[in-house]
Amino acid sequence: MKNYIKRHSAFVCFLLIVLGGSNTKVWAQKLEKAAFYKAMASDNIEEINQELATFTDAGTDTKTGYDGALLMKKASLVGKPKDKLSFFKAGRIKLETALLAEPGNTDLHFLRLVIQEKAPKIVHYRADIEKDKTLIIKNFKGLQPVVQQAIVDYSKTSKVLHTEDLKAAE
């Protein structure tokens, strides 16, 4: 009977740790997104490098997409053309791979829209602007508040995605 109670108690403790850990992960993920969008909006290469460091051990396709977007943002801030192209290509592969794995992920479509709009014409990365814009507007209401805020902030300066588009979606 004592062994049963010990095993049962150990199992309950294990469940509490696992469930408590998953809540912590959800909370940390929200914080990560806020920090991520802050880094994406900045032109500070150190801030981008710090955020890139948080994705080093990331395993999910979504995080790979975020990592890719940061690499492409970093490409716009480095000095050497060779480095610009290298970061951009690596980031593009990661972001597009993540989009293939999660084609309905509106966050990733927003990131691609941001990159496409700001990418130099020479890199030929503009083919999905309208598709991404349409998807973002359609799914805007269902996004997390931190992502909605990032989209609203971006729409204030975007030539493609306008605040009025988002209001019309509501």
- Look at the chain and report how many structural domains it folds into: 1
**Domain assignment present for 73:** yes
Q: What are 50-88's pLDDT values in tens digits?
A: 988 886 655 566 688 999 999 999 999 999 999 999 999
**Domain assignment present for 105:** yes
**Domain assignment present for 167:** no
What is the residue range of 46's domain? 2-128
**Domain assignment present for 151:** no
**Domain assignment present for 74:** yes
- pTM for this one? 0.77
- Model pLDDT, residue 28: 38
**Domain assignment present for 140:** no
Cα–Cα distance measured from residue 125 to residue 99, given in angstroms and rounded to the nearest whole number: 14
- The amino acid present at 26, given as its one-letter code, is V
**Domain assignment present for 111:** yes
Q: Per-residue b/e over 83-103, b at no fewer than 16 CB within 10 Å?
A: ebeebbebbbebbbebbeebe
